Amino acid sequence: MSSIAFVSVSKRYGEVNAVSQLDLACASGEMLALLGPSGCGKSTTLKMAAGIEAVSSGEIYFGERPVSHLAPGARNIAMVFEDYALYPRMTVWENVAFPLKVRGITGQPAAQRIGEVLQLLGLRQMAEQDVRGLSGGAQQRVAIGRALVRDPDVILFDEPLSHLDADQKVQLRAEIKRLQKLRQVTSILVTHDQTEAIAMADRVAVMNHGVLQQVGAPQDLYEHPANLFVANFIGEPPMNLMEATLAEGGRVVGAGWSTRLGSARLGTLPAGASVIIAGIRPENIAVRGPDAAGEARGTIVYREPRGDADILTVALDSTGEAAVKLIAEIPGPAPWRTGDRVTLGIDEARLLVFDAVSGRNREVVP
Amino acid sequence: MAEAQSRPEGSKALLWTSVTVVYAAIMLFPIFWMASMMVKPNDAMFARPTQFLFMPTLEHFSYVLEHGFHWYLLTSFLLCTVSTALVVIIGTPAAYAFARFEMRAKDDLFLFILASRMAPPVCLVIPFYLIFAKVGLLDTFLGLTLAYMTFNLSFYIWVLRSFCRDLPVELEEAAALEGWSKPQIFRRVVFPLLRNGIVATAVLCFIFAWNEFLFAFMLGGRAVQTLPVSIPKLITSQGVRWGEMAVVGMTALLPVLAVVFVLQRHIVRGLTLGAVKG
């Protein structure tokens, strides 16, 4: 096992910066997720770690060892691909045996290791089957078996669940996590699906346009996003982001709503009035009757029932231009219906303050 | 009920079958006609009314053998086999490189290769003639082999490149992670997956070379004569030797049919490649 560190790693394709000045570390035995929209540089980062793509500048370390000049085969890594990349015309057993065969490990020691891995993945019964006949989930398990069988220092997962059905996805998600913890293999997982990243990874690194936005435990990213991109990308339904003015004494005023920040937080915020973007998670908005006290009043314009929760879209009463719409997530089934007048309670302790210009969270330094 | 349903089904199938049979008969008639001419005596050849019953003769066969046409067949066969083999040996790595590797001026280079196929052969045959005359390749087996290789190579690279592109690159990446070098990956991962594509494309190249007339006529001279070039010899001052022409024509047809029949499985798979995924 070994840790991985990217030090000022960049990748350029001609004029395009696919990855810029990436500094990122993954501890030994840890699972780190690279999360971001397509084209954000996460796959490129993974391929640089694998050695399939060369590094334009910077260095990648496995433990103390710089590896960016090493061929993929010399890095002792295994990779699990989005579309499995199993060798066609080979059985399950032969596919898993392949990495051992390449290293000249055959006979009894090989058979024992292959048997163990197949057992671990529940593939024993399918050992003699041709891989082309298997379901997507089973094929991906074979690919994971092929990765595990030779005890690599690092396993790289490149969107391993993207092509699977929903039920297989959930099943394999738990499976990968279990195996990764069991074997204590340092792993990097690339995904565009935040649910996957949060469910599987110890820490999540969010990337956008080739730049690392924030890295931290899933809960940290959720509660203290470093900037508007992370705030918006993580969480479903997404965070409400509203323009507002931060006045003296911690008073925050937006179109159709206002609140006051607790005095404890004021010390960390710059003094004086300024324009900000205020962020609040849908579940941190309380919905009350029209006559109750609260920070905003409005009308429900859309209700999306989800069984255990109701997602309400509320248009705030406003004097000016287009009404601000807030999304509230409350335990369901709730009595509110489209057209109802409501009062919203905005939990000021959960209100995030972002700089209107730079988009940075004013309180959290990434 | 079932009968009422099956009846229109049945008559429809019957209709289609008869249409197919009639179409096949029309298409195959010239071949049957040629086959019958092989053994038709000369005086029955164009008799009016047409004689469907006649005493078969082998005189056309003996004429063809006496005049050494079997040597032309051998020349054709060797020429096409050798040039196609060279095309496969040189073209397969080239096509793979064009599909996978980054290189300077790749697109221009590829267009250059394609261009040699886009120009009508007539435009190329004169430069070929002049160059071959200079370097002494005129009227040689080697010269004609090189010429065939040149015009088939561009086609082969072009087609096989798309086969290469359809292969999942992850397979090669996975193999690279196992520590294999590029040549090893090419030989042991890529090549087995490309086999059907290679066979299908090579068969087409073989057929192109087999049917070729112009280059063989201009560059082969008297020394290297292929089957297509030899056929006009049967138009003699004493008249056209139709029976002999039929014999040589049928002989020219058979190797192509044989190749297609033997390799049919590969060709069909090659033409429907992409099924290698998953």
Each residue of A81-103: pLDDT tens digit?
A: 998 889 888 899 999 999 998 88
DSSP for B4-32, written as a single string: HHHHHHHHHHHHHHHHHHHHHHHHHHHHH
CB < 8 Å from A in window 183-242 of B: 189, 192-193
Q: What are A107-157's pLDDT values in tens digits?
A: 898 999 999 999 988 898 999 999 888 888 899 999 999 999 988 999 999
Of A112, A183, A133, give the one whose Cα is nearest residue A153.
Answer: A183
Backbone φ, ψ for residue B182 (5° rounding): -55, -50
Searching chain A, which residue's CA lies closest to the CA of residue B188? Answer: A87
pLDDT of residue A239: 94
Give the C-alpha distances (Å, rounded to integers) separating A133 from A86, A90, A163, B14, B131.
12, 11, 16, 37, 56
Asked if the model's pLDDT at residue B274 lies above 60, the reply is no
Q: Does B102 touch chain A (CB under 8 A)?
A: no
Chain-chain contact of B278 with A50 (C-beta, under 8 angstroms): no
More confident residue, B192 or B269: B192
Please list every residue in chain B whose beta carbon sits closer than 8 Å to the beta carbon of residue A88. Answer: 193, 276
Under the banding of pLDDT at 50, 70 and 90, the label for residue B136 is: very high
pLDDT of residue B7: 59
Q: Measure CB to CB from residue B174 to each of A74, A85, A103 and give the nearest one.
A: A85
Distance of alpha carbon A136 from its chain centroid, rounded? 23
Asked if the model's pLDDT at residue A366 lies above 70, the reply is no
Of B277, B55, B127, give the one whose Cα is nearest residue A85.
Answer: B277
Which range in A54-63, A241-250, A259-268 is most confidently predicted, on average pLDDT?
A: A54-63
Chain-chain contact of A74 with B277 (C-beta, under 8 angstroms): no
Smallest CA–CA distance, residue A84 to chain B, in Å, is 8
Rounded mean pLDDT of B3-14?
69
Under the banding of pLDDT at 50, 70 and 90, the label for residue B54 is: confident
Count the neighbouring beta carbons within 10 Å of the beta carbon of residue B132.
20
Please list every residue in chain A whose beta carbon sits closer than 8 Å to the beta carbon of residue B176. Answer: 51-52, 71-73
Under the banding of pLDDT at 50, 70 and 90, the label for residue B1 is: very low
CB A62 within 8 A of CB A4: yes
User: Residue B202: helix, strand or coil by DSSP?
Assistant: helix
Burial of B264 (0-12, 13-18, 19+ CB in 10 A): exposed
CB A180 within 8 A of CB A31: yes
Tell me whether 0.95 is exceeded by the ipTM. no
| Alpha carbon distance, N-terminus to C-terminus of chain A | 28
Searching chain A, which residue's CA lies closest to the CA of residue B193? Answer: A88
More confident residue, B116 or B30: B30
Q: Please give the domain boundaries of chain A with CATH numbers for all domains.
A: 4-232 (3.40.50.300), 237-355 (2.40.50.140)
Q: Measure CB to CB from residue A79 to each of B173, B180, B277 and give the nearest one.
A: B173
Q: Are strands A285-288 and A296-305 parallel, antiparallel or unpaired?
A: unpaired
Give the C-alpha distances (Å, rounded to integers) separating A40 from A36, A57, A96, A155, B240.
6, 18, 32, 21, 74
Number of A to B CB contacts under 8 A, please give it.
54
Q: Does B273 touch chain A (CB under 8 A)?
A: no
User: Directed axis angle between helix B264-271 and helix B191-211, to 10°?
Assistant: 110
Rounded mean pLDDT of A202-222?
94
**Residues in chain A, overall count:** 366
- Rounded CA separation B153/B141 (Å): 18
Asked if the model's pLDDT at residue B35 lies above 80, the reply is yes
User: Residue A278: helix, strand or coil by DSSP?
Assistant: strand
Asked if the model's pLDDT at residue A184 lies above 70, the reply is yes
Looking from the CA of A236 toward its CB, the CA atoms found within 13 Å total 6
Structure tokens at B75: 């020349």
CB < 8 Å from B in window 153-212 of A: none
Omega before A218 within 30 of 0, i.e. cis: no
pLDDT of residue A365: 52
Burial of A338 (0-12, 13-18, 19+ CB in 10 A): exposed
- Rounded CA separation A86/A34 (Å): 24
Burial of B134 (0-12, 13-18, 19+ CB in 10 A): exposed
More confident residue, A102 or A264: A102
Asked if the model's pLDDT at residue B194 lies above 50, the reply is yes
Q: What are B237-250's pLDDT values in tens digits?
A: 888 899 999 999 99
pLDDT of residue B117: 81
Asked if the model's pLDDT at residue A8 lies above 90, the reply is yes
Count the neighbouring beta carbons within 10 Å of the beta carbon of residue B275.
11
- Rounded CA separation A53/B30 (Å): 59
pLDDT of residue A319: 67
Count the neighbouring beta carbons within 10 Å of the beta carbon of residue A63.
14
Asked if the model's pLDDT at residue B3 lies above 60, the reply is no
Looking from the CA of B175 toward its CB, the CA atoms found within 13 Å total 19
Chain-chain contact of A73 with B180 (C-beta, under 8 angstroms): yes
Rounded mean pLDDT of B144-173?
90
Q: Does B180 touch chain A (CB under 8 A)?
A: yes
Burial of A321 (0-12, 13-18, 19+ CB in 10 A): exposed
pLDDT of residue B275: 42
- Rounded CA separation B145/A70 (Å): 44
Rounded mean pLDDT of A69-80?
91
Please list every residue in chain B whose beta carbon sits closer than 8 Å to the beta carbon of residue A82. Answer: 170
Asked if the model's pLDDT at residue B95 lies above 50, the reply is yes
